[in-house]
């Protein structure tokens, strides 16, 4: 099912590329756009995870540099029967997290310093269990490629507008078609993200609750993250809204037009499903109660604050 979903997603994105190419240069432009789409898809498959991690300034941490967090991920991965992913921390006050990678053998999970600071151990385990559920369900390839291609479609749509305008001034183009494509192509790409992400978030919530063994802790974390996402801005996400669907909650503040179509289900609906799941679930949590003495502190030598 996930392989079919990935194929349909790439086909939809390729179709958008072809439409923009036709707006730029007719049949010839469509052929060029097709070749560009093939190259972009191939590049995204191998490199989009690295691009997203770099975009957010994520830095890989080891057990020596972040022992408590690294050990928690190791316990969760073992419980999920997954290979140990690479572990990253993002210097951002907004509490949030995401997973990326083309398959479980090449996966990475990332959490912000805000998340590690504001949530307790059970809640962090719930959030990271959610991200590992994305890895286990192989959602990460689809979601990461979507982010890369959505950004590329926006760039190509702007190119269509600029080139179309020049051709119209020489009497040979269709400026109206180019303007329409500039507006509609990014919206179409956003709608693909919208359709994919909402259903996968519910699945990852369910899987994350099973992996952590604590659906109520994940529900508690979602309530906190949803509230803080509107209060604490994420500058990188605001500058790159095509990546918003990667996060466990929408990182966009809602102040701009880019947040018109949310890629995430309403937090209250997700929380209600987790509470329902908790009533019928008997699994033991992967962690014990919170962190009175700050177990997330980095015990390794550091230069710039508690995260290295």
pLDDT digits (tens, 9 = 90+) for 8-60: 766 777 777 777 777 777 777 778 778 877 787 788 788 888 989 999 999 99
H or E element in which residue 254 lies: none
In a domain, 120, yes or no: yes
Q: Which domain holds residue 20?
A: 2-279
In tens, the pLDDT along 276-304 reads: 999 887 666 776 544 433 334 333 333 33
- pLDDT score of 112: 97
* Identified catalytic residue from 121, 131, 201, 210: 131
Name the least confident of 64-73, 81-90, 198-207. 198-207
Q: Is residue 124 part of a domain?
A: yes
SS3 sequence, the chain? CHHHHHHHHHHHHHHHHHHHHHHHHHHHHHHHHHHHHHHHHHHHHHHHHHHHHHHCCCEECCCCCCHHHHHHHHHHHHHCCCCCCEEEEECCCCCCEEEECCCHHHCEEEEEHHHHHHCCHHHHHHHHHHHHHHHHCCHHHHHHHHHHHHHHHHHHHHHHHHHHHHHHHCCCCCHHHHHHHHHHHHHHHHHHHHHHHHHHHHHHHHHHHHHHCCHHHHHHHHHHHHHHHHHCCCHHHHHCHHHHHHECCCCCCCCCHHHCCCCCCCHHHHHHHHHHHHHCCCCCCCCCCCCCCCCCCCCCCCCCCCCC
Which of 47-61, 80-94, 187-201, 225-239 shows the highest mean pLDDT? 80-94
3-state secondary structure of 97: strand
pLDDT at 118 > cutoff 50 = yes
- Percent of the chain past pLDDT 90, that is, above it, reads 41
Q: How far apart are CA 95 and CA 98, in angstroms?
A: 11
Contacts of 145 (CB under 8 A, 6+ apart): 6, 9, 10, 41, 44, 45, 48
Q: Give the lowest-confidence range in 33-37, 47-51, 73-77, 108-112.
A: 33-37
Residue 26 falls inside a structural domain: yes
Residue 132 pLDDT: 98
Examine residue 301 and state whether it is found in any structural domain, yes or no. no
**pLDDT score for 83:** 97
Selection from 203, 213, 216, 214 nearest residue 133 by Cα: 203
Total residues found in the chain within this entry? 308
CA–CA dist 37, 11 (Å, integer): 10
Query: Which of the listed ranges 11-20, 137-146, 173-182, 216-225 does the model predict with the highest average pLDDT?
Result: 216-225
Tally of domains within the chain: 1
Residue 108, SS3? strand
Contact 277, 209 (CB under 8 A): yes
Least confident window among 65-69, 82-86, 159-163, 193-197 = 159-163
Evaluate whether residue 300 is within a structural domain.
Answer: no
- Asked if 246 and 264 touch (Cβ cutoff 8 Å), the reply is no
What is the rounded CA–CA span in Å between residue 187 and residue 184?
5
Indicate whether 51 belongs to any domain. yes
Q: What is the pLDDT of residues 88-99, one digit of tens each?
A: 999 999 999 999
Distance CA(247)–CA(197), nearest Å, equals: 10
Tokens of 84: 């140990």
Q: What is the pLDDT of residue 304?
A: 39
Q: What is the pLDDT of residue 100?
A: 93
The answer to whether residue 199 scores a pLDDT higher than 90 is no
Q: Is 290 among the domain residues?
A: no
Residue 68: active-site member: no
How many percent of the chain have pLDDT more than 70?
Answer: 74
Q: Is residue 216 part of a domain?
A: yes
Tell me how far apart the alpha carbons of residues 207 and 184 are, in angstroms, rounded to a whole number: 35
Q: From edge to edge, which strands make up the β-sheet containing 86-90?
A: 59-60, 86-90, 108-112, 97-100
Average pLDDT over residues 149-175: 60
Higher pLDDT, 98 or 149: 98
Would you give the DSSP letter of residue 60? E
């Amino acid at each position: 099912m996930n392989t079919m979903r990935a194929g349909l997603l790439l086909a939809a994105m390729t179709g958008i590329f072809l439409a923009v190419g036709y707006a730029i240069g007719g049949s010839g432009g469509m052929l060029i756009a097709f070749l560009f789409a093939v190259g972009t898809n191939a590049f995204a498959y191998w490199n989009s995870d690295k691009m997203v991690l770099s975009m957010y300034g994520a830095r890989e941490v080891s057990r020596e540099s972040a022992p408590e967090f690294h050990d928690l991920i190791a316990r969760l991965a073992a419980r999920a029967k997954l290979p140990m992913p690479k572990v990253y921390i993002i210097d951002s006050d907004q509490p949030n997290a995401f997973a990326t990678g083309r398959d479980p053998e090449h996966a990475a999970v990332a959490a912000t310093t805000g998340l590690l600071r504001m949530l307790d151990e059970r809640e962090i385990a719930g959030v990271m269990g959610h991200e590992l559920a994305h890895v286990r369900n192989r959602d990460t390839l689809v979601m990461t490629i979507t982010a890369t291609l959505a950004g590329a479609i926006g760039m190509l749509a702007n190119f269509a507008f600029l080139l179309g305008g020049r051709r119209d001034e020489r009497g040979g183009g269709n400026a109206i078609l180019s303007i329409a494509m500039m507006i509609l192509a990014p919206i179409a790409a956003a709608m693909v993200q919208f359709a994919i992400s909402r259903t996968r978030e519910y699945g990852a919530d369910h899987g994350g609750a099973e992996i952590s063994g604590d659906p109520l802790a994940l529900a508690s974390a979602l309530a906190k993250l949803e509230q803080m996402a509107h209060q604490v801005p994420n500058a990188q996400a605001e500058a790159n809204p095509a990546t918003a669907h990667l996060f466990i909650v929408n990182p966009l503040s809602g102040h701009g037009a880019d947040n018109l179509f949310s890629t995430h289900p309403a937090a209250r609906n997700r929380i209600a499903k987790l509470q329902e799941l908790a009533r019928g679930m008997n699994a033991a949590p992967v962690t014990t109660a919170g962190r009175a003495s700050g177990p997330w502190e980095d015990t390794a030598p550091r230069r710039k604050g508690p995260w290295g």
